[in-house]
Structure 1
């Protein structure tokens, strides 16, 4: 099964044909429109099997799947945390789609990793979090961001997820450390000289068979994020 996570930087109903070229089974998309508000037969056909959350109907989080993939929404209270979609896939494994977007005043940077830690703490006893699950999306987490507090919170989040056997798959497969990535997933203002690694996939070490971050030049014509493409 192939899964893609991508922050489309808005306008996903216009940009989704580009990501379809990868022919994934599941797409976890950040900053995408809620399909019912879009008057596009093509987009609504693509979004025939999906879940979406958001306050702004044009900038939310969606999980879209092929029609032969069973998605079952898990009833977990988000406790006001934004944005998370917990689903069961094919009665086989749990998938948590993420776009961290704290509902707070002022700078959000410090709080991005804390949102994930809080969500984990709220639901770690529910049975949803386990070593067979996958978490992916725009975490807005990079230890290099702004100050040491953000980095400390990133490592705290990683420690919490490790309690159920989950690792940051890119770093595990490439034997790279946080903040020293050779491939980036985000470029500030689409400037290739300002790279960050904000998007992540967490799973058990044996779950993901292959993970790719494609060349950014093409994707910068569409978004400030590059997709992560992986197979399980």
Structure 2
């Protein structure tokens, strides 16, 4: 199964035509509009099998699947944490779409804490397990100058390791947190401002291939590069 996660920098009803060239089974898209408000017939056709969350109809997060892929929303209360979509895929594994977007003043340090809190609240629900996939825009990079943010990122990684999950990019490329050779985000759309904010967590060996989109193709559409991966 092929999955793509991408922060599309809004206006997804236009840029989806480029991302669907990847021919994925599931797309986890941050900063996208609610398909219910779209007047684009092409976008509505693409979004025939989806779940979406957001406080702003123009800027939320959606999980979009092919018509032959079964996605079922799992009833987990987010308790005000933004934004998470928990689904069951093909009655086979759990997928958590993530776009951390805390509604707090001290946002930089709180981004990774949103994921830690969500995990702590639901770790005994049965949803979190070693077969699951967590992916999205975490807004987390230990190289950010805010030291408390870096500590909280490592704490979040340690928590997810309790169920056997690892940051797949770092696992496959044998790179340390904060020393990534491939960025996923370019601040202000400039190549000299790279960060690694987008992540995929899974058990070691669960993902057989992971690719970060090339800036020459994607930077004209978004400040984030898509992550494209395939699971066993």
Smaller-chain TM-score range?
over 0.9
Shift of 1:146: 2.8
Q: Partner of 1:45 in structure 2?
A: 45
Distance 1:147 1:29 in 2: 27
Q: Deviations over 1:23-64 (max 9, x none)?
A: 000000000000010101000000000000000000001000
Distance 1:180 1:146 in 2: 14
What 5-or-longer segments of structure 1 have no aligned partner? none
Distance 2:53 2:103 in 1: 14
Q: Partner of 2:159 in structure 1?
A: 160
Q: Deviations over 1:82-135 (max 9, x none)?
A: 00000000000000000000011x241110000000000000000000000000
**Kept after mapping to 2: 8 A contact 1:216/1:226:** yes
Distance 1:80 1:103 in 2: 9
Q: Secondary structure at the match of 2:207?
A: coil
Runs of 4+ in 1 over 4 A off after TM superposition: none
- Note the aligned Cα RMSD (angstroms): 0.6
Matches within 5 A, 1:2-17: 2-17=2-17
Q: Partner of 2:138 in structure 1?
A: 139
Distance 1:145 1:17 in 2: 33
Matches within 5 A, 1:1-232: 1-104=1-104, 106-232=105-231
Distance 1:156 1:107 in 2: 17
**Kept after mapping to 2: 8 A contact 1:187/1:196:** yes
Distance 1:150 1:144 in 2: 9
Q: Deviations over 1:123-182 (max 9, x none)?
A: 000000000000000000000113110000000000000000000000000000011001
Distance 1:130 1:49 in 2: 25
Shift of 1:194: 0.6
Q: Normalising to structure 1: TM-score of the pair?
A: 0.99
What 5-or-longer segments of structure 2 have no aligned partner? none
**Kept after mapping to 2: 8 A contact 1:34/1:60:** yes
Distance 2:94 2:215 in 1: 29
Distance 1:70 1:182 in 2: 35
Distance 2:152 2:36 in 1: 36
Q: Normalising to structure 2: TM-score of the pair?
A: 0.99
Shift of 1:13: 0.5
